[in-house]
């Protein structure tokens, strides 16, 4: 399984309507996929977090040369050497998205070669389908709070109608609209009243607050029986996370901005979160996400992987979720996104409250070459 060819495959699609979270307006979805081919013609696909710019050049101009001739079966060894090479080349900064994309492609290749799913290679499935929560509830352009409230409530009702028993919504409207934390709690209250007490509700602030504001919001969310409060604070404020988690009656979640085992160990040891959320496209692939999940389990924390990617990221996340202890949930992005919906020959869909884990080898999906060509932008 000698690696012969490594290439970045950039995909982009403009959205018909833009939407916002606490940090940014999103008007397109773009992904840098990684395609690795071995000398015997086997192919694996991975996906890197973040904009195409930078990652594409890193994969094509540096990583491809480092990987050529290596044995694709030796995933942990390649992962370790790549981290070492990039840390040295980039002065202690490791481009985590690029490592992740390569790592996912190697797991896909290794599974394809063995005729086994990545979940099997990771130790085997604990479940064949994963309970999902509908993620979305981003904000439309608006001048009035009522416009946002009506949009978010109507979206929440549509997910419950589609069979979902758990929802995650966005809070932290101050940056875009000037509406403070009391409006955020009001938005959650409106959704709670609309969907009732039997639907599990989570809230994601995309690190919108400082500690005093986060405390006020946490009190409001606890009163509304919110299951977890995600990214209340900027990801580098670990001490403040720990103080909030200690004081709050709502569980604190975070992890989509953290990468590699030492960082996950640091936040677990600090008591920063109750729920750890590594993203397979940015935490260091399946290799590092599995390590993060082991650190979480050993510390008594839950792992709910963060997912906001294409069909590749979704498939890889399901492979990891199939193996995790406890009762993890899949983050199932419900925003309009043709690259997520159409890239796999058999799209990944929910069946009521659950999403089945794909049965095929590797990451379990087959990339549709026509769709790939349609979204490719180089």
CB of 206 to Mg ion, least distance (A): 6
CB of 152 to Mg ion, least distance (A): 16
CB of 204 to Mg ion, least distance (A): 4
Query: DSSP string of 32-93?
Result: EEEEEEETTS-EEEEEE-S-HHHHHHHIIIIIHHHHTTSBTT-HHHHHHHHHHHHHHHTTT-
Return the residues of window 250-269 that contact Mg ion according to CB under 5 A. Answer: none
In whole angstroms, give the CA distance from residue 344 to residue 350.
15
Catalytic, 207? Answer no
Which two structure tokens, joined as six digits, stand for 51? 């904009």
- Pick the closest to residue 19 from 160, 210, 209, 176 (CA basis): 176
CB of 308 to Mg ion, least distance (A): 8
Return the DSSP state at 165.
S
Residue (202 or 312) nearer to Mg ion, CB: 202
CB of 13 to Mg ion, least distance (A): 21
Query: Roughly how many angstroms between the first and final C-alpha of the chain, as a whole number?
Result: 28
Query: DSSP string of 18-37?
Result: EEE-SS-EEEEEEEEEEEEE
Per-residue exposure over 272-294, b if at least 16 CB sit within 10 Å of its own CB, e if not: bbbbbbbbbbbbbbbbbbbbbbb
- Which residues are within 8 A (CB) of 76 and not within 5 positions of it... i.e. 6 or more apart? 287
Q: Which residue is nearest to Mg ion (CB)?
A: 204
- Rounded to the nearest 5 percent, the helix, strand and coil shares of the chain are 45, 20, 35
State the pairing for strand pair 275-276/25-38: unpaired
- The piece of 7-15, 59-67, 116-124, 198-206 that touches Mg ion (CB under 5 A) is 198-206
- The piece of 95-103, 172-180, 196-204, 214-222 that touches Mg ion (CB under 5 A) is 196-204
Write the burial class of residue 370 (CB in 10 Å: 0-12 exposed, 13-18 middle, 19+ buried): exposed
Under 8 Å between Cβ of 45 and 358: no
CB of 348 to Mg ion, least distance (A): 20
When binding is defined by CB under 5 A, the residue of 103, 155, 204, 279 that contacts Mg ion is 204
Write the burial class of residue 374 (CB in 10 Å: 0-12 exposed, 13-18 middle, 19+ buried): middle
In whole angstroms, give the CA distance from residue 264 to residue 290.
11
- The piece of 92-100, 133-141, 202-210, 236-244 that touches Mg ion (CB under 5 A) is 202-210
Residue (79 or 329) nearer to Mg ion, CB: 329
- Pick the closest to residue 28 from 47, 16, 10, 15 (CA basis): 15
CB of 337 to Mg ion, least distance (A): 16
Residue (131 or 305) nearer to Mg ion, CB: 305
Name the β-bridge partners of 331: 133
- Told to check if 331 binds Mg ion by CB under 5 A, we report no
Number of residues counted as binding Mg ion (CB under 5 A): 1
Active-site residue set: 306
Chain positions contacting Mg ion, by CB under 5 A: 204
């Amino acid at each position: 399984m000698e690696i012969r060819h490594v290439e970045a495959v950039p995909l982009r699609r403009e959205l018909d309507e833009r939407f916002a979270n606490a940090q940014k307006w999103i008007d397109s979805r773009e992904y840098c996929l990684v395609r690795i081919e071995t000398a015997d013609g086997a192919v694996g696909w991975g996906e890197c977090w973040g904009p195409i710019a930078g990652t594409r050049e890193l994969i094509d101009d540096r990583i491809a040369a480092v990987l050529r001739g290596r044995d694709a079966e030796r995933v942990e060894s390649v992962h370790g050497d790549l981290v070492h090479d990039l840390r040295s080349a980039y002065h202690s900064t490791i481009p985590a998205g690029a490592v992740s994309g390569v790592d996912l492609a190697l797991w896909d290749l290794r599974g394809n070669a063995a005729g086994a799913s990545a979940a099997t290679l990771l130790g085997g499935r604990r479940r064949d389908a994963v309970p999902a929560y509908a993620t979305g509830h981003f904000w439309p352009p608006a001048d009035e709070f009522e416009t946002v409230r009506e949009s978010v409530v109507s979206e929440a009702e549509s997910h419950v109608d589609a069979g979902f028993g758990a929802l995650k919504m966005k809070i932290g409207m101050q940056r875009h609209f000037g509406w403070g934390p009391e409006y955020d709690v009001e938005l959650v209250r409106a959704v709670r009243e609309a969907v009732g007490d039997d639907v599990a509700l989570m809230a994601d602030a995309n690190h919108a607050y400082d500690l005093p504001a986060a405390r006020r919001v946490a009190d409001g969310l606890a009163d509304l029986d919110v299951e977890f409060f995600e990214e209340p604070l900027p990801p580098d404020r670990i001490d403040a996370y720990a103080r909030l988690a200690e004081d709050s009656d709502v569980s604190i979640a975070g992890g989509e901005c953290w990468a590699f085992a030492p960082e996950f160990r640091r936040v677990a040891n600090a008591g920063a979160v109750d729920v750890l959320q590594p993203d397979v496209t940015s935490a260091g692939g399946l290799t590092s996400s599995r390590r993060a999940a082991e650190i979480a389990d050993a510390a008594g924390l839950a792992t709910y992987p963060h997912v906001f990617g294409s069909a590749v990221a979704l498939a890889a996340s399901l492979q990891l979720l199939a193996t995790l202890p406890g009762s993890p949930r899949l983050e199932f992005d419900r925003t309009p996104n043709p690259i997520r919906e159409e890239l796999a020959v058999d799209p990944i869909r929910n069946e009521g409250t659950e999403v089945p884990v794909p049965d095929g080898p590797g990451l379990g999906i087959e990339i549709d070459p026509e769709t790939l060509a349609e979204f490719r932008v180089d």
